[in-house]
Amino acid sequence: MPERLYYAEPFRTSFEAHVSDIRQVSHSRGQMVWQVALDRTAFYPTGGGQPHDTGTLTAQAPSGVTLQAPIVDVVEDEAGEIWHTTAKPLLAGTAVRGEIDLARRHDHMQQHSGQHLLSAVFLREIGAATVSFHLGEAASTIDLAVGSISAGEMEQVEEAVNSILAEDRPISMRTVDRTEAEALLAAGALRKLPPREGTIRLIEIAGVDLNACGGTHLRATGQIGGLLLRGTERVKQGLRVEFVCGLRAVRTARTDRMLLTRAAALLSVGRDQAPDAIDRLLAESKAGNKEKQRLQEALAASEAGRLLLETAIENGRRLVSRSLSDGDAGYLKLLASRLAMAPQTCALLTLQAEDPAPLVLSANGDLALDCGALLRDALGHFGARGGGSAGMAQGRIPRADLDALFSLLEPALRGS
């Protein structure tokens, strides 16, 4: 098994090693993908909730040519071997120099150390135990075994965590055997113990937390930089809390500020006045919609009156059949229902501008027509769909079939 340099030296970015094994994984877009095993490595493999490192392996060919193999993924197999994924094959026995991307590792250590602290503080402050956690590419989350957390409690936890960051408490690591770890757990000194045999790695944040973990951590809480809680979401096992640490917290806050600035500029107010401005805008919009509804009803009543005067009753029926140049589907329905209030009257309406054309069929109850069945059957002839109740039905049909549909329906509606 390889020597894991990241356990003892989480800040180490370069190391010398020898290739111990190589295997071909797959072809990816015409390119071979290989996995290389080393006798020692500083590359952290994905595991324990922490994402893998990236970086480079550099080898010197006998010809003197330098070969650089970018490492894009690092995984640990069940046997404990660590495989470094690369597009360049490096033969067993090759001496290599490894360089890991410190910015990426440092970011992971900030999120991961921050997670330990956050879990401990959630437990201490409001009795919420962490069930699981995830360190993501953009945001990290912990799942808590609670139903809800108030905004006040979120603030309380966020401030408590950031106070501990300012205290710059040491973060240390030690290994103990299983028996000792179980005794610590039983005594309530250890927050969590994974079900694994052998020695247990304990990470301690002085005076705050003791937890078993195989990840990489910072030397002191001050290095976490800052922690920002971003929100909560209900999940099956409780409540998911999103958080960001360090430079990510700064970037996230910056993005939030830019979004809020943009929203405030659109509203022509200061950032702190944006919520009130949106409130006002929504109230105005609601009032506007109400007024629009009132005007449409008045317009429909007036237009219905005019159409009823224009259309004569024949064979005891009056059919108002029109293609309107103005309005929308809502207005069409309003007008149809208004027309059907008149005795002996039915209406077949569409809009000129739309394709497929919306259709509304309505009839006064005294005509004993079934608008739903009539429209559904007629549209069925053209492979179109629609339906509704006896008094009112709706559907849509391609414009090209509209005239044929009117010719089909009008005789039935006139009763001729």
State the Rg of the chain over Cα: 35
β-sheet bridge partners, residue 243 = 140, 229
Nearer to Zn ion, 213 or 348 (CB): 213
Q: Whole-number minimum distance, CB 108 to Zn ion, in Å?
A: 10
State the nearest-atom distance from the C-beta of 211 to Zn ion, in Å.
7
Tokens of 355: 């394709």
User: Does residue 395 belong to the site contacting Zn ion (CB under 5 A)?
Assistant: no
CB-wise, 205 or 213, nearer to Zn ion? 213
| Smallest separation, CB 172 to Zn ion (Å) | 12
The stretch near Zn ion (CB under 5 A) out of 51-59, 73-81, 157-165, 212-220 is 212-220
Judged by beta carbon, residue 213 or residue 369, the one nearer Zn ion is 213
- Closer residue to Zn ion, CB minimum distance, 211 or 364: 211
Q: How far is the CB of 218 from Zn ion (least distance, A)?
A: 10
Stretch that binds Zn ion, among 136-144, 160-168, 205-213, 300-308 (CB under 5 A): 205-213
CA angle, 82 as apex, 61 and 199 as ends, to 5°? Answer: 135
Site string for Zn ion, 335-374 (x = CB under 5 A): ----------------------------------------
d(CA 82, CA 7): 14
3-state secondary structure of 363: strand
Residue of closest CB approach to Zn ion: 213
CB 159, min distance to Zn ion, A: 23
Q: What does the per-residue mask of binding to Zn ion show for 213-232, with x meaning CB under 5 A? A: x-x-----------------
Tell me the helices (H) and strands (E) count for the chain, helix number first.
9, 21
Minimal distance in Å, beta carbon 50 to Zn ion? 7
- Most distant CA pair in the chain, distance: 104
CB of 199: closest distance to Zn ion in angstroms?
16
Cβ proximity of 36 and 22 under 8 Å: yes
Would you say 33 or 220 has its CB closer to Zn ion?
220
**Nearest alpha carbon to residue 171 among 228, 223, 132, 233:** 223
**Measured distance CA(12)–CA(200) in Å, rounded:** 22
Measured from the CB atom, the residue of 69 and 210 that comes closer to Zn ion is: 210
Q: Which stretch binds Zn ion (CB under 5 A): 88-96, 100-108, 211-219, 398-406?
A: 211-219
CB 232 within 8 A of CB 154: yes
Tell me which residue of 251, 281, 278, 283 sits closest to 264, measured CA to CA. Answer: 278
- Measured in residues, the chain has a length of 416
Between CA 18 and CA 59 the distance in angstroms is: 10
Give me the residues that bind Zn ion (CB under 5 A), please.
213, 215
